[in-house]
């Protein structure tokens, strides 16, 4: 277990060899995807699917919140505030079928993801994932 210090622990648990910067991109994309799914479920009146998507989003955001406290400081505190805001939006969305709350949480994560990708660009250009891809809905009529 001595070798499991620092950020290497999550890579072993997750079974991925992603670097921390890439791992955070994946986590942000996953949380945003779940929020898009929740929004679609609310619109369709599918409470079970909504609850499942919001629960999954909350788990990812809670994980990121845990990582933000790994090294205390102003940046960690700001990230924690964003994640807490998103968690509050998820709770509100789940309790009241509130699509605006879902949108607010997703917007916060969208903005964070955009900054993250500017700070940590991929070697190959990052392709922006469209809402239709994230929700599984094609653009075909």
Per-residue pLDDT tens for 48-81? Answer: 999 999 999 999 999 999 988 778 899 999 999 9
* Six token digits for residue 97: 């079928």
Provide the CB-side half-sphere exposure for 70 (13 A, CA).
Answer: 13
pLDDT attached to residue 123: 58
pLDDT for 104 beyond 50: yes
Give the pLDDT of residue 23: 85
Q: What is the pTM of this model?
A: 0.77
């Amino acid at each position: 277990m001595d070798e499991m210090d620092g950020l290497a622990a999550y890579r072993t648990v997750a079974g991925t060899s992603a670097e921390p910067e890439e791992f955070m991109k994946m986590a942000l994309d996953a949380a945003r995807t779940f929020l898009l799914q929740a929004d679609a479920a609310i619109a369709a009146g599918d409470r079970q699917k909504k609850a499942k998507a919001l629960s999954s989003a909350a788990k990812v955001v809670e994980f990121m919140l845990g990582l933000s406290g790994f090294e205390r400081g102003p940046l960690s505190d700001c990230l924690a505030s964003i994640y807490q805001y998103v968690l509050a939006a998820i709770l509100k969305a789940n309790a009241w079928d509130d699509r605006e709350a879902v949108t607010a949480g997703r917007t916060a994560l969208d903005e964070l993801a955009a900054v993250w990708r500017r700070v940590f660009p991929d070697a190959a250009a990052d392709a922006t994932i469209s809402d239709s891809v994230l929700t599984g809905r094609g653009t075909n009529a």
